[in-house]
Structure 1
Amino acid sequence: MIYNADEMGISVVHKPGKVVAELGRNHVVSGQRGKNHTLMACVSASAFVLPPIITYPRKRALPDNYKAGAVPNTLFVTSTNGWINSELYFEWLKFFSNNIPPARPVLLVQDGHSSHMSIEAIEYAKSSQIYILCLPSHTTHILQPLDIGVFKSFKSNFSKAFTNYVSKNPGRVITPDLMSSLVSEAWLVSVTHLSIMSGFRKSGLFPFNPSVVNDRLGPSEVFKEESKSNGTPELTLPTIQHSTIDSPLTPEICDVSSAHVLSDTHSINPTPSVDISPVPLAHMDTNSSVSVNDDHTELFTEEQEKLFSKCFEEGCDLYDPLFVTWLKIRHPYCCVSVSFDALSECTATTCTKKRENSKRRKEKKRRKEKKEEKRKKEGEKDEAKRKKEEERRKEEEKKKEEERKKEEERKKKEERKKEERKKKEEEKKRKEEEKYLKKQTAYCSLRKKLKEEDSCPKCEVKYDVSDIWIACHVCDRWLNFECTELKDRSNIPDTFICQDCVKV
C-alpha cells in the first residue's frame, strides 16, 4: 500500500479574494497577523483517508469546545509555535500505524523535513514495516499527490468556509475554537476519491508512470544546448526499470475489507532498482508471471478482461481485489472508493450505480409507504377527533336546550307570581277602598244624624260649624270639644271614646 503524508499551514485570519479599499491604492495590507496552525493529512493510492491531525499554538491542554464540529476521530495536538516537531511527528506515526489497514509492508511518501527524520521515528517505522520515502527538495509540487490533487482544492474550500461564516455572522471575529468546524466543512468537499486518485496519477506514483514527471524534472533546453556545444556529456535522469515478478497463489480470496486496500499494495525492495508488482491474487496462475508496463496490456488475461468488462457493463458487485485493480486502470473515474473509521476495524465496501439506484428507489418507496401510513393514521385520528367534537357539540346543544327550557319555566313561574301578587294588591286595594267608602258612608250618616240632633248631648249647645266637634266611635254621638277631656286642639286622636262609653 502506498501512502502520502504532508502538512500545510492554516490560520484564523481570513484572506478574501476581494477587499474594499480606497480608490487608487494598488496594495492593501491587513493589520491582522494570526498565529500559525498546522494541518497534516494522509491518504493512500486506493483513496483511503486517515483522519487529520491539527496542531494548535498553545502550551496548555486544548479545551473541549475547540473540538466541536471537527472531522470524526481528528487528532488534536499542541506546540509552542503551532508547527509539527519530532515528538509530534512520532506521535502521529503511532496514530498512523494503529489506524491504517493491517496489510504490511507499506510505503509512506513524504517530504524530507527534519522533524520526519528522528531516530525514534525511523526505528518505530522499521519495527512496524513502514518504509519511509523522502522526496527530493523542491520537487514536492511535482511528486507529492496531496499537493497536486487535494491541498489546492482544500485551500479554496477553506477560504469559502471562512467567507460563508463571516457573511452569516456579520461583526463576529473568527477565533481558534471555530477552526475545527471550518476545517471539517472544507475537508468533506475537498478530500474526495477523485481528487486523491488524480493526485497519485498526475505524480506518476500510481499507476506507476515515470514519463508523467520525467519532462518536468529533466534539465532545461538551454542547459542541454550548452552541454552539447561544450562537448560535455548530456545529463539525463535515471529511469526506473520494470521487472517481471513471479507471484504465488493466495490461499483464499481476500475479504471485503481488505479487497480494496490490497489492490494497490506493492512489494518494495529497498535497492537502487525499484521493482513494483501488484499483490498476488487468487485469480492468477501459479506458474504465470505478470509484467507491469505503462499500457497494462499483459496485466490481465483474455478471460479476465471479458469477465470484468461484462461485470462492469451489468453493474455487478464483484468483491475481488483484481477486479478493483482492473477498474482503477480501465475506468479510473468509476473506481470504487474506500471509507474508513480510524478507531474501528478497516471496512471497505463496493457499490455500483445500479445498486445505489435500487437502494434509493427502495428507500423512496419505503418513505412513501411510511408517509402514506402516517397520513392514514392522521386521517383516522382526525376522523375520531371530528366524531368526538360532533358528539361534544351535540351534548352542548342538548344542555343548552335543557337550560333554555328551565329558563322558560322559571320565567313563567315568575310571571305567575307577579300576577298573583298583582291580584293580591288589587284585592287589598279594593278592600281598602271599600273600607274607606264604608267609613265615609258612616261619617256622612253621622254628620247627617248630628245635623238632625243639632246639639251636644252634654252641654246642649247647638252645632256650630266654626267650632270643633268630635264623634265617639262607640255611641256615635257628636260632642263639643269643650265637653271632652282633650286639651290640645292640634293633637286630636283618630279614635275617640266618650266618658259614658268608657264607664260602660
Structure 2
Amino acid sequence: MPRVRVRKTLRAQIDLLQYKNAYEDVKAGYSLRTAAEKHGVNHCSLLRYVRKRDASGGEDNQDMGYKAHNRVFNEQQERDLSKYLIRCADIYFGLTKKDVLKLAYELTIKYKLARPRTWDDKLVAGEEWFRMFMRRNPELSVRAAQATSLSRATSFNKSNVDAFYDNLTIVMDRDNFGPQDIYNADETGITTVQKPNRVVARRGARQVGSVTSAERGTLVTVAFAGNAIGNVIPPFFVFPRVRFQEHFVRDGPVGSAGGANPSGWMQDETFLKFLEHFKKYTNASPLHKVLLVLDNHSSHIHINSLDFCKVNGIVLLSFPPHCSHKLQPLDRSAYGPLKKAINSTSDAWMRNNPGKTMSIYDIPGIVASAMPVALTPSNIQAGFRKTGIYPYNRNLFTELDYAPAFVTDRPNPENITEAEFAPIINTRPTEDETPPLSPSILSNEPPVETAVEFYAINSSPVLRTEQEHIAEGQTQAFKTPPRCQSSINVQQSSPKPSTSAQPMCLRDNEVFSPEQIRPLPKAPPRKSKKGRKLRKSTIYTDTPEKEEIRMEHEIRMKRTKAKQVKKRFDGVKTRKITTKGSKNNTQQESSSEEEECFCLVCMSPYSESRSREKWIQCASCKLWAHEECTEGGLSYVCHNCDSD
C-alpha cells in the first residue's frame, strides 16, 4: 500500500443527509433498493446505515464512509495540537521536531490513546506520524528561528509602545513637524572582514572558500540620519584611532564627517560632533525645529548633547529600551539592504585589489559605493511607514506582535478592579446559595490573590482557551468555565492550589490539551542589572527630563572627582617613600623629552601622549607612530615606506 492513498472514485463521499432521508423513506414503507435509487446512494451502504441506526435505538448520530484505522489523534485533537504549536512559536518558545515527537508520545500516555508499538520502544512518536501530521496541517512548517534576546522579546509590549506614541503625539501637536523635519538617527558597525556572498562551485564539494581581508576585522561605526520623505544626510564615521584626521574620509560620500576614539564606538564627545554635523545639513534652529527620534544609548542622552539640542531647536525623542528592532525606521528597512550592498562591494574590492589587505581607511569608499544602492528614498520611507511614525499610525502593531511579551505578562492582582474581579468569582447566586463573595469575607481564608492567580495562571484547557482569545485581540468578555461557576467558596478554597492539576470540575469530563503536558512559560518581570537605571520613551529636550539628566551627570562627576582626589592622595604618599636617587633619574628623563617626536599617521607630538600610551616604530624609516593609529602587528611598515 502507498503511504498516501490517492482517491480514484467518489465512493463514501455521499452526504449523510441523503442517508437520513433514505432511512426515513425505508421506515415509511419504501423498499431498500427504491429508497437507495431515489436518493442516489448505494443500497448496500444504505442497509448498513439502517442496521446501525436501528441498533442504536434510532439515534441520528451514525457515521458513514472510510475511516483511518491507524489514526492516533482525531481531527479535533490535531487541530488543538496545531494551535498550541503556533501559540508557542508566537511567544518565541517554539518546539523543535524532537520536542513535537516527544510531546505527541506524552499526550498518548496521559489520555490513554492507542499508538504503534514502536512509539513505546523509542519513547517518542514516529517520523511517519510527524510527516503526515505536517501534511494534514498545512498551516505548520519547520522554520529556522531568528535569535531574539529575552530583553527584546519582553520589552516590546503594548504599554511601552503606547508610551512612545503618546510622546510622539505630544511633540507632533506642539510643533507641527512635517515629514521633511522628522529624522531618525542610528549607528551601525562595518568591519574590514566582509561576509562573502554565495558563489557557484563544484556540486558535492564539502567546503567552498572565499578570500577575506583578515581573520578578524576592525570595526568602524557609521551613523546615518534620514527623514520621512526619504532623504539622508552624509554619514558620520567613528574610527578606532586616538585622533581624527580629515584624510580618513577622503574617499567617503560627499559631505562626510568623522571622529575618533580608541574604542571605535559612539561616545559622548563623538555624538556631540555628530549633532553639529546633523545641524549643518538639516538647518535646525529655534525658528525651524527638527524632530530626531533615536534609541536610549548613553552617549545620546549626555547633558552636553541635550544642551546643544535645546539651543539649536533639535527635539530629541527616544524609543523604549530594547524596542529598536520594531520601532527604528532605519533598522526596519534600510540597514539590511545596506549590509548586503557593503558585502558585495567589499567582495568586489578584494577582487580588484588582489593580495592587498583592506584597512579601515578603505571603508568610506566602500560606503560611498553602497549608499546609492541601499539607502534609497523608497527604502527609508518604508521604514517610517512600517513603524507608524509617518504617516502616524499608533494601531499598526497587532496582538501577534506583542505575543512574545506573554512570558512576563502575569496579571497583577493589586490592580484588578471590582468590575474585573466579578467574572472570576461567582456573583450571581441563586436563592438557595450564599451571597456573592467579597474580599472582606476572605479575611480568615486564603487571600484574593490566590483565587485570581489560580484562574489567571492555571493551565487548564478551558482557561487557556479564554487567554488565547484575549491574546488574539477578541473583544468578548472573560467568562467563567462551564460547571465551575460556583466551585470556589470559603469552605472549598485551598491555601495554594496547584497550577499543574486540573480543577475538580474538569476531572469528570477531561478535555484534550497539550498544555497539560507542557504549560506555556510564565515568569515575573526580569530584574535590571545593578547600578543601571531603567530608561523609557522620553522627550529628553523638555526641561524636566533635561534637568533630571543634568542632576545625574553632576552626581556622576562628583563621584569621579572624589576617586581622582583619592588617587592623587595615594600617589603623594607613594612619592614620599622614593629613594634619594630618584631626583637624578627625573632630571635625565626631562632632558630626553626635549627631543620631540611626531606620529606618522595623526602628526601628534609625543609630548601630548596619554599616560602609558604605546608607540610603534617603522621597520624601514625608523620613525614612530601611535600603536592605535596603525594596524598593529609584530613588524610595522608605515604608509610612506609601503607606497615606495
The TM-score range, normalised by the shorter chain, is: 0.3 to 0.5
Please say which structure displays the higher CA radius of gyration. 1
Q: Under a length normalisation based on structure 1, what TM-score does the superposition of the two structures give?
A: 0.43
Q: Under a length normalisation based on structure 2, what TM-score does the superposition of the two structures give?
A: 0.34
